[in-house]
Amino acid sequence: MPGLTGQDATYKWIGPQTPVWTDAIASVDPGFDERWIAGRAQPWRVLPREGGAVYRRSLAAATACGVPWLAIETWSGFDEASDIAESVEYGRRYLDITRTYAAWFKAGALPAGVRIETPYADSPSVSTVLGASDVSRGLTLVPSTRDDAGLHVPVVEAGQAGRRTVFLAPDAPEAYLYFRVDDGFYFNRPQDVRIDVTYFDEGTQPIYLDYDAAPCASAWNAETMYKRTTLASASDTKTWKTASIVLRDATFTDHQNQAADFHLVALDGQPLTVGSVAVTKLP
């Protein structure tokens, strides 16, 4: 905990949602389901195990990240479906995964041919279409939360659905839409990417994009983990437009709030409504 003396490192427990890293510790979890825990309020947090695939991906990403320590945040969490102990349901499956990947983590590298395996590992692009029910293909809008000024609501503008930022207070300077890029698609890479954003053009404030440009296992640095660039200049046409930007130094290593890779910024009480976002790897 911050303020304690004699500690070597600290990290935030958040693995049930997504793997996270500091410059010293990677924290991972095999999945999570709090629907059966008495007293837990909705919306429930659920991360399906996918037969062990979530755990393997998290351990592979932690190894690729290159941090010195690995925190496996669970053992017998049967009530929240985060257990890796031997069980009637899974046998020794998660112990075997732990043994295999722990050896690779200690060796400091994944073997040739082993990668962060996801359905989008070989895809040229990922995308999400926003609305009352988002359609995400390897790119996910972080759920609406008051934490980190990330509130948003579904809306319809000019006949098209989207998601609109909500400011925490009338005088709040900024509000955000946070996005996570599938780690199998892009993680800690030096490849150019293009981001395309379809947005409803209203007001006159610029639309900013803050993206993660810090290598994994970096010490905290807001200038690289929240590197700001201008995506578009609003002109209040009350029409849908598409803006594109090429990033040449993005890492997308989950350093932002809610383990996001980038976020769009609304300024000074002017809402930002977004219909779709796509990320494409460039040659």
pLDDT digits (tens, 9 = 90+) for 101-145: 999 999 999 999 999 999 999 999 999 999 999 999 999 999 898
Contact call for residues 261 and 180 (beta carbons, < 8 A): yes
What single-letter amino acid sits at 253? T
Q: Look over the chain and give the mean of its residue pLDDT values, rounded to a whole number.
A: 91
Predicted local distance difference test score (pLDDT) of residue 11 = 72
Helices 53-65 and 93-107 cross at an angle (nearest 10°) of 10
Predicted local distance difference test score (pLDDT) of residue 1 = 43
Q: Compute the average pLDDT of residues 176-199.
A: 96
Contact call for residues 271 and 165 (beta carbons, < 8 A): yes
Residue 216 CA to chain centroid, in angstroms?
14
pLDDT by residue (tens digit) across 2-54?
A: 455 567 777 766 545 567 788 888 888 899 888 888 887 777 778 889 999 99
Predicted local distance difference test score (pLDDT) of residue 110 = 94
Predicted local distance difference test score (pLDDT) of residue 47 = 84
pLDDT level of residue 275 (50, 70, 90 thresholds) = very high
Q: What distance in Å separates the CA atoms of residue 78 and residue 208, rounded to the nearest whole number? A: 43
Is 0.75 topped by the overall pTM? yes
Q: What distance in Å separates the CA atoms of residue 169 and residue 79, rounded to the nearest whole number? A: 37
Of 127, 181, 175, the C-alpha closest to 153 is 175
Predicted local distance difference test score (pLDDT) of residue 102 = 96
Whether 159 has a pLDDT exceeding 90, the answer reads yes
Helices (H) and strands (E) counted in the chain, each on its own, are: 3, 17
Predicted local distance difference test score (pLDDT) of residue 12 = 67
pLDDT by residue (tens digit) across 209-265?
A: 999 999 998 999 999 999 999 999 999 999 999 999 999 999 999 999 888 999 999
Whether 207 has a pLDDT exceeding 50, the answer reads yes
Distances (CA, A) of 263 to 27, 60, 85, 266: 23, 25, 37, 10
Q: What distance in Å separates the CA atoms of residue 247 and residue 209, rounded to the nearest whole number? A: 11
Q: What distance in Å separates the CA atoms of residue 58 and residue 67, rounded to the nearest whole number? A: 13
Distances (CA, A) of 104 to 39, 192, 256: 39, 29, 27
The DSSP code for 256 is S
Q: Reduce the DSSP state of residue 90 to 3 states and report it.
A: coil
Length of the chain: 283
pLDDT by residue (tens digit) across 45-97?
A: 788 899 999 999 999 999 999 999 999 988 998 988 899 999 999 999 999 99
Predicted local distance difference test score (pLDDT) of residue 15 = 47
Contact call for residues 80 and 31 (beta carbons, < 8 A): no
